[in-house]
Amino acid sequence: MANKTLIMYYSWSGTTKRAAQALAKSVTADVVELTVASQTFSSDMFATSDIAKDQLSTGALPPLTNALPDFKQYTTILIGGPVWSAMVATPVRRLLTDLATYTGTVAPFYTDAGTAGQYEQDFASLVNQATVKPGLEFHGQSADQLAAWVRTVTG
């Protein structure tokens, strides 16, 4: 199988979407935005944080509303999301449960409002069979920097 890359991301505010779009310009990849029902989260950051904490404490992760591709056709999946309370956002957590049998390579890219905390460790703990590569905390890197990160992931 030829190397094929997929970029999947969830964006609550649009910041991670911009990161995914910038990344997509640096690598040949299919791109899928993860979506949840519109009433799942508030437009208020603090209310959304409380909702996500409730989802985590109950284990009731929000269902993804879009169709997901056949992951087996990809050798690498780059997974983007916002950092929520220093952890992986609940829609991305849901995706990672759907990726439980994926055996390729995954790497996180993530956006935050100042502190990523233990995001990469949290991400890695949620991955079942895939190989996890070091992630990228997105802060407006240049196209060359993004391409260099992708090369370290896709090797």
pTM score, two decimals?
Answer: 0.93
Determine contact, residues 116/110, Cβ cutoff 8 Å: yes
> pLDDT band at 1, cuts 50/70/90?
low
DSSP 39: T
In sequence order, which residues have a C-beta less than 8 Å from that of residue 67 and are 6 or more positions away? none
Average pLDDT, the chain: 92
Biggest CA-to-CA distance, the chain? 45
Domain range list for the chain: 5-154
Question: What are the DSSP calls for 99-144, one per residue?
Answer: TTT--SEEEEEEE-SS--TTHHHHHHHH-SSSEEPP-EE-S---HH
- Is residue 31 over pLDDT 80? yes
Beta carbons of 84 and 54 less than 8 angstroms apart: no
Task: Assign a CATH topology to domain 5-154.
Answer: Rossmann fold (3.40.50)
Mean pLDDT over residues 36-59, rounded? 94
pLDDT value, residue 104 = 95
Length of the chain: 155
Q: What is the pLDDT of residue 124?
A: 95
- Rounded Cα distance between 119 and 108, Å, is 9
Using 50, 70 and 90 to split pLDDT, how confident is the model at 81?
A: very high
Paired tokens of 64:
């993804």
Are 123 and 132 in contact by the 8 Å Cβ rule? The answer is yes
Phi and psi torsions of 21, nearest 5°: -65, -40
CB 20 within 8 A of CB 33: yes
pLDDT recorded at residue 117 = 80
